[in-house]
Structure 1
Amino acid sequence: MISDVYAWELTETNRDWLIHRPIEIAVYTVLAVVLRFVLHRMIDRMSNRRRSTDTAVNERRSQRTRTIGSVLKSTVSIAVLTWCVLQILGILGINVAPFIASAGVVGLAIGFGAQNLVRDFLSGIFMLLEDQYGVGDVVDLGDAVGTVETVGLRVTTVRDANGTLWYCRNGEILRVGNMSQGYANAVLDLPVAHNANVHKACEVATRAVLDAAASAEIRADVIDTPEMLGVNSVTAESITIRITAQVKPGRQWAVQRAFARSVLSAFEKHGIEAPYLPSPHRSTISPTADISR
């Protein structure tokens, strides 16, 4: 009789561990995956929401929303994973109350032992709140210059012009130069020879730049009429004249290339000489390097 009861209890125990608890663990796991998927979809829908008017302010707000959305998705993933792990531990009979009660002590210990991590986290929060940069912005973070691909609470990734992906800890970012907020200036420096007619060169360059600004290629990118600033510098090798134009953020390099192409053709047509440079280099126009993708 005693052996029968023992066999029955053993069977129930086995049934609990081999059937009931695995099913509960599977249910919580599936629920966590579904919950994470649904919350990510909701965040994506909010982040990709379009407004009826396509203004610079709305574009910036949309960009900032996508940036915050990426951080929210990471936070949701961590929260759902933590909840799922705690539920599974409870199913396995492990008392999770001590873990929760000691969370404050562990957090304090981590705060003292991982000060850099805390600094990265706090810096990331303030960067998001202050909208210093967002995904898609072209930024100068010091050693890394390029397009922001992801913004997290600890790390920001930047893709430079050579395709290198830089991982920058938020706590180590001391300054941010954002080239994608509000507007940008396309600056074109045109070196000409000392024996060239500078007045004529300015007139030819101005007409060429105005024609390029009115072309279908960059017309939508130019915000204000290009301005001829005149002679910017005089060196032993050349005289440099400068033209600037206010353009949409992130489009200054494309506009500079279009301006340079148009001015180069106009200079060749009107016989305006370029400065002589020692062989093998000989150049007429050197627009600012393109650091965008």
Structure 2
Amino acid sequence: MEASTASEQVILGFQESWNALLRLGPAALALNVALSALVLAVAFGVGLVVRRLLKRGARAVPGPADAEKTIRTRRVTQVTWAVFETGLVLAAFFALAAIWGFDLLGWLTAGLGQRVVESVVRIAILAVVTFAAAELATLLVNRLLARMARHKSGGVRREAQLNTIGPLLHGVARGVIIIIGAMMILAEIGLEIGPLLAGAGVIGLAIGFGAQTLVKDFLTGIFLISEDILAVGDVVEISGSSGVVEQMTIRTVRLRALDGTLHVLPYGEAQIIHNMTKVFSYHVVELGVSYESDIDKAFEVMIQVVEDMRADPDLGPKILEPLEVMDVSALADSGVVLRARIKTPPGAQWGVGRAFNRRIKAAWDAAGVDIPYPHMHLVLPQAPQPAEAQPQRGA
């Protein structure tokens, strides 16, 4: 009886193999068991050796040992091991089937089996090529950004911009490659790509109308990055939340506050941005002296303290210009408020300010300039005087 359909061919093939298995004698059965154990042992040993070699190869990959390299190397190692493990399992499975009389290889090399194998192989190749292209794109973007960062014309600000743009470029490149690979795999399966693209366009239009906030956040983020309003590493204040820009995604900016709090803000809420570390910064000095103190002398001491700080090898590079005196800013209740400011590189104003406060206190104490502080004058009520003895009547 000849099978006319693919399912009948499969059932007939398994029935023939099962009948041949039942006709095996004790010696042949023992030999098959021994050969099966040998195949499994060899497969397990090969897998163990290859996995150790992959781990050693991952540790030997050249390049800086940063977190991104670790993640990328681990991902490549995992995918490589998954591909090899799948091939190893299939090879062991076919070997076991051949030992026990199941002619899987013959079925897969003719007729329907051959077509299925060819489609699966092409899909697997497309998937591996897509993954390799995505990883290669990430590597090329990293190399390009690293080369641009080594260019000295932009300095620290240029490096911060590149650190901001890098994750966005990675995401866009990987997304485009994955979409193209998915389309090719769907075409290989037999699906029509044209209707899918048309449907995706309609769905995208509907999502665009229904998710206007997401679109607004995305476009706002693009303009913030392209216009260099803020970058990773800047200290900013947005919508009442302040901190260091830790990460910028395609929709949100993440600020790490001084106490460790992580603020996640959509770009759409960034209506007003206070960037405290763009190009340069100032530490504004507002200190009070008593009304009895010599104001000119107080300013002279302040100027001298800043000059001494500029001569310091640690603090000198953090002070760009001499002290800018801005005269008396207020006549307060308890003293005269003096104002000045110190120009610093971006982000150095707080450290410079703390060092200046420590030094100006000692310098004013030595120069006899008094810093006013609240005084409390206690007035205690006097004890009542004892009344004089009244003269006795009739004395």
Choose which of 121, 130, 136 in structure 2 pairs with 1:32: 130
The secondary structure found in structure 2 opposite 1:168 is strand
Per the alignment, residue 286 of structure 2 pairs with 189
Distance (whole Å) between structure 1 residues aligned to residue 150 and residue 174 of structure 2: 32
Point out where structure 2 has 5 or more consecutive residues left out of the alignment.
12-106, 377-395
Per the alignment, residue 157 of structure 2 pairs with 60
Give the structure-1-normalised TM-score: 0.83
Choose which of 241, 252, 255 in structure 2 pairs with 1:155: 252
Choose which of 227, 248, 263 in structure 2 pairs with 1:166: 263
Distance 1:233 1:54, change over 3 A: farther
Point out where structure 1 has 5 or more consecutive residues left out of the alignment.
280-293
Per the alignment, residue 354 of structure 2 pairs with 257
Cα deviation per residue 1:195-220 (whole Å; 9 max; x = unaligned)?
A: 33333222222211221122112211
Distance (whole Å) between structure 2 residues aligned to residue 267 and residue 23 of structure 1: 82
Question: Per chain length, whose mean CA-contact separation is higher, i.e. which structure has more relative contact order (CA < 8 Å, sep 6+)?
Answer: 1
Distance (whole Å) between structure 1 residues aligned to residue 135 and residue 358 of structure 2: 49
The secondary structure found in structure 1 opposite 2:362 is helix
Cα deviation per residue 1:138-195 (whole Å; 9 max; x = unaligned)?
A: 2222222121122232111121222222111112210222222221112122222333
The secondary structure found in structure 2 opposite 1:163 is coil
Per the alignment, residue 50 of structure 2 pairs with none
Per the alignment, residue 43 of structure 1 pairs with 141
Distance (whole Å) between structure 1 residues aligned to residue 286 and residue 268 of structure 2: 37
Per the alignment, residue 3 of structure 2 pairs with 3
Any conservation in 2 of the 1:48–1:66 contact (CA below 8 Å)?
no
Alpha carbon RMSD of aligned pairs, Å? 2.6
Give the structure-2-normalised TM-score: 0.63
Per the alignment, residue 138 of structure 1 pairs with 235
The number of equivalent residue pairs is 277
Distance (whole Å) between structure 2 residues aligned to residue 276 and residue 76 of structure 1: 61
Shift of 1:52: 7.1
Any conservation in 1 of the 2:149–2:158 contact (CA below 8 Å)?
no
Larger helix percent:
2
Per the alignment, residue 43 of structure 2 pairs with none
The residue type paired with residue 179 of structure 1 is: M
The secondary structure found in structure 1 opposite 2:318 is coil
The residue type paired with residue 289 of structure 2 is: V
> In terms of Rg, which structure is larger?
2
Any conservation in 2 of the 1:209–1:263 contact (CA below 8 Å)?
no
Per the alignment, residue 122 of structure 1 pairs with 219
Distance (whole Å) between structure 1 residues aligned to residue 358 and residue 127 of structure 2: 60
1:229 aligns with 2:326: yes
Cα deviation per residue 1:37-72 (whole Å; 9 max; x = unaligned)?
A: 2211211122222577745x4433333233222211
Shift of 1:85: 3.0
Shift of 1:272: 2.7
% identical aligned pairs: 30
Distance (whole Å) between structure 1 residues aligned to residue 184 and residue 149 of structure 2: 41
1:97 aligns with 2:198: no
Distance (whole Å) between structure 2 residues aligned to residue 276 and residue 48 of structure 1: 54
Distance 1:122 1:210, change over 3 A: same
Cα deviation per residue 1:223-260 (whole Å; 9 max; x = unaligned)?
A: 11112223222211332212212211111111111211
The residue type paired with residue 224 of structure 1 is: E
Distance 1:192 1:54, change over 3 A: farther
Distance 1:84 1:50, change over 3 A: closer
Distance (whole Å) between structure 2 residues aligned to residue 243 and residue 50 of structure 1: 38
Distance 1:26 1:153, change over 3 A: same
